[in-house]
Amino acid sequence: MKRKFGLIPGQKSVWPEFLWSHDDKYFARINKGAVSVYDSSTFRLLDDRSLIFNAAVKDFCWSPGAFILIN
Protein backbone atom coordinates (compact mmCIF):
# COMPACT_ATOMS: atom_id res chain seq x y z
CA MET A 1 0.00 0.00 0.00
CA LYS A 2 1.34 3.44 -0.97
CA ARG A 3 -0.99 5.69 0.98
CA LYS A 4 -4.35 5.69 2.72
CA PHE A 5 -6.88 8.49 2.17
CA GLY A 6 -9.55 8.97 4.80
CA LEU A 7 -12.87 10.74 4.59
CA ILE A 8 -12.75 14.51 4.98
CA PRO A 9 -14.58 15.59 8.17
CA GLY A 10 -17.71 17.63 7.48
CA GLN A 11 -17.70 16.89 3.75
CA LYS A 12 -20.15 14.60 2.01
CA SER A 13 -18.52 11.72 0.20
CA VAL A 14 -18.85 11.97 -3.58
CA TRP A 15 -18.15 9.43 -6.26
CA PRO A 16 -15.67 9.23 -7.78
CA GLU A 17 -13.51 10.41 -4.90
CA PHE A 18 -10.51 10.97 -7.21
CA LEU A 19 -10.29 12.20 -10.78
CA TRP A 20 -7.25 11.20 -12.86
CA SER A 21 -5.40 13.34 -15.42
CA HIS A 22 -5.46 12.34 -19.08
CA ASP A 23 -2.20 10.37 -18.80
CA ASP A 24 -2.69 9.12 -15.20
CA LYS A 25 0.34 11.12 -14.01
CA TYR A 26 -1.78 13.06 -11.47
CA PHE A 27 -5.00 12.58 -9.57
CA ALA A 28 -7.04 15.12 -7.65
CA ARG A 29 -9.92 15.46 -5.24
CA ILE A 30 -11.93 18.19 -3.57
CA ASN A 31 -10.64 18.85 -0.08
CA LYS A 32 -12.52 21.34 2.13
CA GLY A 33 -13.51 23.58 -0.80
CA ALA A 34 -10.07 23.43 -2.45
CA VAL A 35 -8.58 20.99 -4.96
CA SER A 36 -5.73 18.75 -3.85
CA VAL A 37 -3.58 17.37 -6.69
CA TYR A 38 -1.34 14.35 -6.08
CA ASP A 39 1.51 12.81 -8.07
CA SER A 40 0.53 9.22 -8.91
CA SER A 41 4.10 7.90 -8.73
CA THR A 42 4.65 9.04 -5.12
CA PHE A 43 1.06 9.68 -3.93
CA ARG A 44 2.31 12.96 -2.41
CA LEU A 45 0.51 16.29 -2.58
CA LEU A 46 1.86 18.30 -5.50
CA ASP A 47 3.96 21.27 -4.29
CA ASP A 48 2.85 20.40 -0.71
CA ARG A 49 -0.29 22.54 -1.00
CA SER A 50 -3.85 22.46 -2.30
CA LEU A 51 -5.22 24.84 -4.93
CA ILE A 52 -7.44 27.41 -3.24
CA PHE A 53 -9.88 29.56 -5.22
CA ASN A 54 -11.97 32.67 -4.43
CA ALA A 55 -15.16 30.62 -4.21
CA ALA A 56 -15.50 27.17 -2.65
CA VAL A 57 -15.06 24.41 -5.23
CA LYS A 58 -18.01 22.07 -5.54
CA ASP A 59 -16.98 20.22 -8.71
CA PHE A 60 -14.12 20.08 -11.23
CA CYS A 61 -12.76 17.98 -14.07
CA TRP A 62 -9.49 17.51 -15.93
CA SER A 63 -9.02 18.68 -19.50
CA PRO A 64 -9.09 15.59 -21.76
CA GLY A 65 -5.69 16.36 -23.31
CA ALA A 66 -3.72 18.67 -21.01
CA PHE A 67 -2.86 19.27 -17.37
CA ILE A 68 -5.67 21.78 -16.88
CA LEU A 69 -8.36 21.67 -14.20
CA ILE A 70 -11.79 22.98 -15.20
CA ASN A 71 -14.26 24.25 -12.62
Q: Which of 26, 38, 32 is nearest to 62 (CA)?
A: 26
Q: Is residue 3 part of a domain?
A: no
**Does a structural domain hold residue 7?**
no
Domain count, the chain: 1
Q: How confident is the model at residue 7 (pLDDT cuts 50, 70, 90)?
A: confident
**Secondary-structure breakdown of the chain: helix, strand, coil percentages, each rounded to the nearest 5:** 5, 30, 70
Per-residue pLDDT of 22-67, as tens digits, reads 999 999 998 888 899 999 999 999 999 999 888 878 888 999 999 8
Three-state DSSP state, 9: coil
The arithmetic mean of pLDDT across residues 11-28, rounded, is: 88
Residue range(s) defining the domain that contains residue 38: 19-70
In a domain, 27, yes or no: yes
| Residue 36, pLDDT score | 93
Does 11 reside within a domain? no
